[in-house]
Amino acid sequence: MIAIQLMSDSIQPVTGEQTVEQVLGYLHQYQVKHLPVIEKITHKFLGLIAEEDLVGKPGDQQIDALNGYFLFIGTAPEQHLLDIIYLLSHNEVSVLPVFTSEQYLGCIRRQDPFRLLGKSAAFEPGGNIVEIWVQTRNYSLSEIARIAESENVRITSLIICDSDPVNDRIKIIIKMDSNQIDSVLASFERYGYEIAASYPENNDFMNLLKERYESLMHYLNV
């Protein structure tokens, strides 16, 4: 999934000729904290304007007078979903503009990529989740997959979630499609991997994850 496929039709950009009062009204209407600003004729992307930068300004002041507050943050139309999630989280913006060097194309609402990611196979219930420590210089995705598959277990997702620079190692979260993974854990240990934790399927735990995911979606929609 790429940026141009994630764009929302429900949020329209504003132009520099519009007033602070008008833009605050649109922010409230769209329930976002930022809006893209574009040139009226060419539709060239100028930047994002944040609600916090409009509060206290004269209501009849035009937005182009506040161009010093514009945030030039956005993404190319071919950018991947995971890069988009990073940009949204790292920059703490409620919408992410999509544009080329010449023209604004649309924007992505903060909650949409997270909602899409939450529907992926990586977050489906069932299976077993394992955390392992791997020496950075020895990390090999193909070897990890081969070890699991040699025990007739399939890896459904793998995420590098932490690092330990002092010991030159990284922590990896692995989700597998089976709850019978004792032999896989033993194989990992034989190959020098340290098992940090293992989380078998647990309905209470999965319900907790679901509740937290729904709480996150509610927060992102605020």
Percent of the chain exceeding pLDDT 90 equals 64
Q: Do 47 and 89 share a domain, yes or no?
A: yes
User: CA distances (Å), 124 to each of 12, 118, 120, 165, in order?
Assistant: 34, 8, 7, 32
Instruction: Tell me what pLDDT residue 178 has.
Output: 86
For residue range 132-187, what is the model confidence (pLDDT) as tens digits?
Answer: 999 999 999 999 999 999 999 999 888 888 889 999 999 998 988 888 889 999 99
For residue range 39-79, what is the model confidence (pLDDT) as tens digits?
Answer: 999 999 999 999 999 999 999 999 999 999 999 999 999 99
Domain boundaries, position 105: 3-110
Q: Is the pLDDT of residue 208 over 60?
A: no
37 close to 4: Cβ distance less than 8 angstroms: no
Instruction: Tell me what pLDDT residue 50 has.
Output: 97
Q: Do 106 and 155 share a domain, yes or no?
A: no
Residue with the larger pLDDT of the pair 120 and 93: 93
- Chain mean pLDDT for the chain: 87
Q: Is residue 105 part of a domain?
A: yes
- In degrees rounded to 5, what are phi and psi of residue 171? -100, 135
Q: Do 145 and 65 share a domain, yes or no?
A: no
Quote the tokens at residue 121: 């196979």
**How many domains does one find in the chain?**
2
Instruction: Tell me what pLDDT residue 121 has.
Output: 55
Residue with the larger pLDDT of the pair 112 and 72: 72
Residue with the larger pLDDT of the pair 221 and 69: 69
pTM for the whole structure = 0.66
Q: Do 149 and 105 share a domain, yes or no?
A: no
137 close to 188: Cβ distance less than 8 angstroms: no
Taking each helix axis from N to C end, the angle separating 141-149 and 182-190, rounded to the nearest 10 degrees, works out to 140
Quote the tokens at residue 169: 């190692």
**CATH code for the domain of 141:** 3.30.2130.10
Q: Do 71 and 153 share a domain, yes or no?
A: no
Q: Is the pLDDT of residue 113 over 90?
A: no
